[in-house]
């Protein structure tokens, strides 16, 4: 699923369930970094489409890069949006940053492992590709889409409920 918003669906569901303990912005940044290597392969016509970046080892390195480069970018973006309920300093904690980046990179490998035969997710430890064909591509896309819709609905319902509850206590 290179460069599709479908990877964001499961991320939105995780965001809805974990709220402030998960950064959807960091998760999304990680999705972009994960697909830079396939983009380069598409543009140049050289290299494996789902190579090292789509292994758990590569995903671990990308998660570290995403965390270190994405924290300040995400905080800057949130400040630009000027959301009134956000504190002005250190909006996203380092544990949330790293957790979100690793969830993003590992979920990317899992989802792509189901549909792409050119992957070796356990490289260099094994050539096993356990998830390939586990479900149909259509079912995988539906899972991503529906998890995003459910996640967005839950997120906004929880936000609405918390705002209503906060207003009652003040």
Can you give the length of the chain in residues?
A: 170
Query: Which residues in the chain show pLDDT less than 50?
Result: 1, 89
Cα dist. 33→14, 18, 20, 89, 107 in Å? Answer: 19, 23, 23, 26, 13
Structural domain count of the chain = 1
For 125-151, write each residue's pLDDT tens digit.
988 888 888 899 999 999 999 999 999
* Host domain of residue 50: 5-168
CA distance 75 to 43: 31
pLDDT tens per residue across span 80-98: 776 655 555 458 899 999 9
């Amino acid at each position: 699923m290179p460069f599709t918003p479908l990877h964001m669906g499961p991320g939105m569901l995780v965001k809805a369930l974990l709220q402030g303990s998960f950064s959807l912005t960091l998760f999304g940044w990680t999705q972009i970094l994960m697909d830079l290597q396939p983009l380069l392969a598409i543009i140049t016509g050289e290299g494996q489409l789902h190579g090292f970046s789509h292994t758990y080892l590569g995903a671990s390195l990308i998660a570290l890069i995403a965390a270190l480069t994405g924290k300040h970018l995400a905080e800057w973006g949130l400040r630009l949006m000027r959301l009134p309920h956000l504190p002005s300093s250190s909006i996203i904690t380092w544990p949330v940053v790293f957790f979100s980046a690793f969830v993003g990179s590992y979920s990317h490998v899992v989802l792509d492992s189901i549909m792409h035969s050119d992957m070796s997710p356990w490289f260099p430890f094994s050539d096993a590709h356990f998830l390939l064909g586990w479900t149909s591509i259509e079912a995988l896309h539906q899972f991503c889409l529906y998890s995003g819709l459910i996640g967005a609905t839950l997120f906004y319902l929880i936000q609405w409920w918390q705002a209503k509850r906060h207003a009652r206590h003040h």
